[in-house]
Structure 1
Amino acid sequence: MLTSFKKNIETNFSFLKGKKLLIACSGGLDSVVLTHLLKSLNFEIALAHCNFSLRGKESDGDEMFVIGLANNLEISVFAETFDTKKFAKEHKVSTQMAARTLRYNWFEEILNDFKYDYLLTAHHLDDDLETFFINLSRGTGLNGLTGIPKENNKIIRPLLNFSRAEILQYAEKNNLKWREDSSNQKADYLRNKLRLQVLPQFKETNESLLNNFQKTQRNLQSSQNLIEDYMALVYNLVVSEASDSYKINVQKIKELPHTEALLYELLNGFGFTEWEDVSNLMDAQTGKQIFSKTHQLLKNRDELVLTEISDVNTSEEFLVSKDGITSPINLKIEPSKYIGETEKNLIYVDSEKLNFPLKLRKWSSGDTFQPFGMKGKKKLSKFFKDEKIPLNEKDKIWLLLSDEKIVWIIGHRMDDSFKVNENTEKILKITYSN
């Protein structure tokens, strides 16, 4: 296997030569073999081990084993203990997701702080097959069936061409020692059920399963590459970009064959799961919207507008001093000797008409103001409609207030009652920037 591994590195990962490599090492069979293979090829390596505190003394034993392995090989080692269950509870995620988040955040810190070039993980061909079936069972597009990527930014997986049987054979032949994770023998999770109960029966019925799977993966990847090339053309044709949104031209995408498939490819990755609702949105009335956990998709006339959901609490208020404010937006307030031209991000007001501290908040239904240059009051909802401001843009608009009275719909219109006139003695210039 060492010869095959060396050839794989030279063919697919030649860029690793001369680099500082960090290995994610659990102490299990796969990561121990990866460590020995790279050490045998004289790479500059170090180990990083996560103790998730999930298996008591067994977890501590894994940590001590990895530290001992590093000492025997005379290489550096990093070890960190996490309170995984506490993290999962605080962030309302599963234990598995908590462990993954903690692990990769910590790995990234090591890469940055100690100037390692790449993180190597010991995922192998059997892991890839399990992931294929997991994604298949959950419902996925072609991309979800193409398997675990060999490269993902700084994460490299050089064992993906090798089966677990090959890895085990190498370990036994070289008298390597490793740790067995007892939780891997419990069919509590879908991956373990596949590994312990389902896939062994598949392998019994087809001895060439893994080889055939590799061929299938290559074919699927070729198809995916073809789709990506085509989607680049479609993207340029039907999508326009704004500073904080993407707009899909409904009429143009409808003129293309396989409209729903194209829509899936454009929006896959933004967390949407109800694809029938996404498709129906193309024929919905203006204002109809659907949400994923991270994004909003809005029908606005002849466009679908995709925006990221803001994490700012819409009911939260911020006090603004005489100098301005820098968060959640940047407002600069300064004296001015003259009135310049008012712009979307710049207004001039009568200082005497303001009562500091001012207040910054999002708009709410029922808000009214007197638009600059007009005599009567107008509801903000009516103003937005007249200005043809789409719903997703309304939710991002901030108001600047003095004594609960709107001074400025920031980026749009100021209130007429705060304007500078012939009786003004002190002028304030207020500038807005993102």
Structure 2
Amino acid sequence: MLLKLQNHINSNLSFLTEKKLLLAVSGGIDSMVLLHLLKQLHFDISVAHCNFNLRGEESDDDENFVKSLCNDLNIKLFVNHFKTEEYTNSNKQSIQVSARELRYDWFNELLQQENFDYLLTAHHLDDSLETFLINFTRGTGLEGLTGIPQQNDRIVRPLLVFSRLEIENYAKENNIQWREDSSNASDKYLRNKLRHDIVPILKEMNPNFLNSFQQTLENLQQANSMVGDASRIEYDKVVKNIGLQKQINLKELMLLPNYQAYLYQWLKPFGFTAWDDIYDLVDAQSGKQIFSEKYRLLKDREVLILEELSANENDSHQIAENQTEIKHPIPVKISYVTNVTDAGSSETIFVDKDSLKFPLVFRKWRQGDYFYPFGMDGKKKVSKYFKDEKFSLIDKENAWLLCSGEEIVWIVGKRADRRYSVTKTTQTIIKFELM
């Protein structure tokens, strides 16, 4: 196994050589074997151990076991104690999800603070099989059937080419001690149920099952790579970045065979899960929208608009009389001028200072808002202006108003209110200009 790992690293993970490595060690057989192997191969390693405080004395005994080993081997050790149950309750999620979030957040902190090059974990081929089966039973796309990746950015898993049986045999042959996690014996969790009840049947049916599975994974990974290549090529034809929005052109999308597969590839990184609703959005009426935790997908005529949800979309911002520049929510330069120039631009307005009531306010539009558009007789509802100008729902929500008291001075970057325009009697002119 030592020689096999050395060859695997030389062929596929040579970037680990002479790097500063952090090894996640629970005290279980997998991480203990990886620690032993890396020590034998003279890698520069330190150890990180998580105590999730979920198994009472057993958790503390695991920690003490790892501490003692690292002390004997003269390996630097980092330990963190987590309030896992408290974190789980406050986030209303499973213990497994909480433990994963806590440990990887901490691992990433260590990578940054201690200048480690990579984090190594001891996931192996059986783990990858279990992940495949979990995703398969829950429903997934092609990427969910490609197993555990060998590398995610700075996280590397060098034991994925080894089976659990190989690891167990190596540990016994080399008298490696390890700790047994009592929770692994319980079928309470789906992974354990698959491990104890399903995987043994598959191996009994085919003694070479893991080898066959590994070949299948390689085929699926190659297919997934091809899907990614095709997705990127068509993305550039169909999707346009406009400001902070991504707009999916529906006419171009519908020319693609299996357009739903492309939507899945493009939108899955944004946390969407309601795929049937998203596919129906293509034929839905304008204004219908689908939400993920942080993003919104909106149908607007001939496009789907993807935009991040804003936590501050209802904010208002005051502007003092002596301000010369505004950076938030949108950058505007304010200056006193002696005459009106380039007045035809919607990105610049000239205002009679004496008609203003300071402080001015930047705010979002509200139902019932109206203004007196420059160049028009009478007043007009802002909502009607938006409709006439074909604003999408997201465009409306992104629109900002410059107001004097409750009156609108400017739909910023779009249209000015004539009540504040410069006249022959104006004594002081203020210029507002988008930067």
Superposition TM-score, scaled by structure 1 size:
0.92
Q: Who is 1:381 aligned against?
A: 383
Q: Which moved more, 1:355-364 or 1:42-51?
A: 355-364
- CA deviation after TM superposition for structure 1 residue 203, in Å: 2.1
1:242-261 superposed matches below 5 A? 242-261=242-261
SS of the residue corresponding to residue 269 of structure 1 reads helix
Find the counterpart in structure 2 of residue 55 from structure 1. Answer: 55
Structure 2 match to 1:366: 368
Aligned residue in 2 for 1:168: 168
Deviation at 1:223, TM superposition (A): 1.2
- 1:287 equivalent to 2:287? Answer yes
Match of 1:95 in 2: 95
The question of whether the paired residues in 1 share the 8 Å contact of 2:333 and 2:434 is answered with no
Shift of 1:344: 5.0
User: Following TM superposition, by how much is the alpha carbon of 1:230 offset from its aligned partner in structure 2, in angstroms?
Assistant: 1.9
Structure 2 CA distance, aligned partners of 1:383 and 1:335? 28
- C-alpha root-mean-square deviation of aligned residues, in Å? 2.3
| Greater Cα offset, 320-329 or 367-376 | 320-329
Partner of 1:120: 120
3-state SS of 1:18 partner: coil
Q: 2:421 matched to which residue of 1?
A: 419
Give the CA deviation at 1:259: 2.6
Question: 2:110 maps to what in 1?
Answer: 110
CA offsets per residue over residues 81-135 of structure 1, 9 Å max, x none? 1222222333333332222222222111111111111111111111100110111
The equivalent of 1:70 in structure 2 is 70
Q: Unaligned 5+ residue runs, structure 1?
A: none
Distance 2:93 2:427 in 1: 58
1:209: how far off? Answer: 1.7
Change (3 A) 1:422 1:143: same
Q: Which residue does 2:5 correspond to in 1?
A: 5
Q: CA deviation at 1:319?
A: 3.7
Q: Taking structure 1 as reference, are residues 428 and 27 closer, same or farther at Cα in structure 2, changes over 3 Å only?
A: farther
User: Residue in 1 aligned with 2:31?
Assistant: 31
In the alignment of these two chains, the number of paired residues is: 432
Deviation at 1:431, TM superposition (A): 4.7
2:326 touches 2:333 (CA, 8 Å); kept in 1?
no
| CA deviation after TM superposition for structure 1 residue 316, in Å | 4.0
Gaps of 5+ in 2: none
Distance, in Å, in 2 between the alignment partners of 1:333 and 1:61 is 63
Distance 1:73 1:364 in 2: 67
Which residue of structure 2 aligns with residue 341 of structure 1? 342
SS state at 2:122 partner: coil
- What is the CA distance between 1:268 and its match in structure 2? 2.9
Change (3 A) 1:340 1:134: farther
C-alpha distance in structure 2 between counterparts of 1:413 and 1:353, whole Å: 18
Moved more, 418-427 or 116-125: 418-427
Is 1:308 matched up with 2:332?
Answer: no
Question: Cα gap change, 1:175/1:248 in structure 2, threshold over 3 Å: closer, same or farther?
Answer: same
For residues 162-241 of structure 1, the aligned pairs below 5 Å read 162-241=162-241
- Bigger shift: 162-171 or 201-210? 201-210
Contact 2:325–2:334, Cα closer than 8 Å, also in 1: no
Match of 1:139 in 2: 139
Cα deviation code 1:61-87 (max 9, x no counterpart): 222222222222212111111222222
8 Å CA contact retained: 1:49, 1:79: yes
For residues 30 and 394 of structure 1, do their structure 2 counterparts lie closer, same or farther at Cα, with a shift above 3 Å needed? same
Give, in whole Å, the separation in 1 of the partners of 2:327 and 2:92.
27
Alignment CA distance shift 1:64-1:236 (3 Å): same
The structural deviation recorded for 1:184 is 2.0
